[in-house]
Amino acid sequence: MNAINPATGERVETYEIETADDVDNALKAANEAYEEWRIRPLRERERLLTEVAEELRENDRTYAEQITREMGKPISGALAEIEKCAWVCEHYAEHASAYLTPEGHPSPPGVDARTVYEPFGPLLAVMPWNYPFWQVFRFAVPALTAGNVVLLKHASSVPGCAMAIEDAFRQAGLPEGTFRTLLIDADLVDGILGDDRVRGVTLTGSGPAGRAVAATAGEQLKPSVLELGGSDPFVVLEDADVEAAAEVGTQARMQNAGQSCIAAKRFVVHTDVHDEFVNRFVAEVESLTVGDPMDAETDVGPLASEAFLTELHEQVERSLEAGAHAVTGGEPLDREGAYYPPTILTDVPEGCPVDAEETFGPVAAVYEVADEYEAIEKANDTRFGLGASIWTADRKRGRRLAHDLEAGCVSVNQLVKSDPRVPFGGIKESGYGRELAADGITEFVNRKTVWVE
């Protein structure tokens, strides 16, 4: 399993792929660890989370550089990702007890009826490369705090990150086997999920991968949570603060080189402010620094691989052939590495790739609409339903229109982002289930009713 630096094309390191026997031993160890971990007092599990947060912060540069070397995220973004992982640890260390407090129910005199929350057991996490620490931590931290143990099948392009995450939990004092990375090929996932020792699965990734995991989980009657792709709309109405919308919209589309499920991808703009927004948007995008991801001044690094660059450019080329217009960008940069320039397309025809498909890179599609009704119609014209952002000076109007947007998360006058304090997840082909907040910690627990007379 080779880790390749997308900024240079050079091999970072090679890792040995684990065998089916290795997996069997890992499952055995996970079950043994679970029997001890599940009975640890919740307060002790919470305390260990604070140790994880300290470990991350004390070694943030080391972990961030691992991210940057393997998938090309600018070092500033990688450091921010590590800090966010520390935050989610601290959030559950502080709030897990409240989230898992038994809930009482109406009952006859002399009867105590309540719901208690108990862990499931070993859980499988199948995770992507684009936020190689955060995607893992936002699932693993609440799962571990609830008393489960975690087996991680990470993306094959970030094996060093996968091993570093396991080491971070170990360094913080979590017992051996509580969190285990599996460096395996994808063809072993079905067998792991079919094993009786695994009690549930979560996947963040592509639609085809999600369908495959969901099908196996369904056959095994095991719970699953899926966070899949997105083609999030960014709606700018006629009364919006256009300057702020263009500035935040640039961040929403271009951070992490546009490689984010919840990135704003389709910009739906009222005709009264369309030209002003496009001009400001172009100016903001062209001010970004594209370069070496290890440089603190870099805003946009390379895509995670040459293959992703090729796929993205094919989507852009086919959209231009269909009639779209590139107002900036649109051609791979003539330099070493998988660099694609921040790109904005206007006059985007219905059904072309940047309209109908998810674009996983720094490419924005802009649409002009006549009124809020057309804006909502265009925003919802997608098979995805992860996030949506709407911009208006009238907060009451924004709240009303938020109910009309078909998405799991809607932000008014802000970009869509995951936050430990609120549930996160999508609808339609963006998946199901929720991560973070109370919902995230109770997805993989037994909500047991206990009736005592």
Per the structure block, which two tokens stand in for 453?
């007379």
β-strand pairing of 343-346 with 325-328: antiparallel
pLDDT recorded at residue 257: 98
For residue 55, which of 169, 210, 203, 200 has the smallest C-alpha distance?
Answer: 169
Tokens 């051609």 — which residue?
331
For 168-182, give one letter per residue: b (16+ CB within 10 A) or e. bbeebebbebbbbbb
Other beta carbons less than 10 A from residue 278's beta carbon: 20
pLDDT recorded at residue 367: 98
Chunk the chain into consecutive blocks of 10 residues (it has 453) and report each block's average pLDDT, rounded to whole numbers: 97 96 98 98 98 98 98 98 98 98 97 98 98 98 98 98 98 98 96 97 96 97 97 98 98 98 98 98 98 98 97 98 98 95 98 98 98 98 98 98 98 98 98 98 98 97
Provide Rg for the chain, Cα atoms.
23
- The partner residues of 150 in beta bridges, in order of sequence, read 123, 179
pLDDT recorded at residue 121: 98
Catalytic residues, by residue number, are 227, 261
Taking a C-beta distance cutoff of 8 angstroms, is the pair 351, 373 a contact? Answer: no
Per the structure block, which two tokens stand in for 115?
């719901």
- The partner residues of 387 in beta bridges, in order of sequence, read 409
Where are the CATH 3.40.309.10 domain residues in the chain?
Answer: 232-412
Which pLDDT tens digit goes with each residue over 82-94? 999 999 999 999 9
pLDDT recorded at residue 415: 98
Taking a C-beta distance cutoff of 8 angstroms, is the pair 409, 82 a contact? Answer: no
Indicate the SS3 state at residue 15. coil
Look at the alpha carbons of 151, 153, 158, 159 in this order and tell me if their dihedral is positive or negative: positive
pLDDT recorded at residue 5: 98
Alpha carbon distance 304, 291 (integer Å):
14
Global pTM reads: 0.97
CATH pick for 2-227+428-452 out of 3.40.630.10, 3.40.50.300, 3.40.605.10, 1.20.140.90: 3.40.605.10
| Residue type at 25 in one-letter notation | N
pLDDT recorded at residue 31: 97
- Phi and psi at 234, nearest 5°, equal -125, 100
pLDDT recorded at residue 138: 98
- The partner residues of 300 in beta bridges, in order of sequence, read 290
Taking a C-beta distance cutoff of 8 angstroms, is the pair 423, 440 a contact? Answer: yes
Per the structure block, which two tokens stand in for 419?
């936050």
pLDDT recorded at residue 75: 98
Alpha carbon distance 192, 208 (integer Å):
18
Taking a C-beta distance cutoff of 8 angstroms, is the pair 382, 353 a contact? Answer: no
Where are the CATH 3.40.605.10 domain residues in the chain?
Answer: 2-227+428-452
Look at the alpha carbons of 227, 7, 329, 415 in this order and tell me if their dihedral is positive or negative: positive
β-strand pairing of 2-4 with 11-14: antiparallel
Question: Which stretches of 140-230 are assigned E, i.e. beta strand?
Answer: 149-153, 179-181, 200-204, 224-227
The architecture in CATH of the region 232-412 reads 3-Layer(aba) Sandwich (3.40)
Q: How far apart are the first and last CA of the chain?
A: 58
| Residue type at 85 in one-letter notation | C
For residue 277, which of 294, 296, 264 has the smallest C-alpha distance?
Answer: 264
Supply the DSSP string of 109-140, one letter for each residue: TT-EEEEEEEE--EEEEE--SSSTTHHHHHHH
- Taking the CA atoms of residue 23, residue 129, residue 262 and residue 50 in that order, the dihedral angle to the nearest 10 degrees is 70
Alpha carbon distance 328, 140 (integer Å):
40
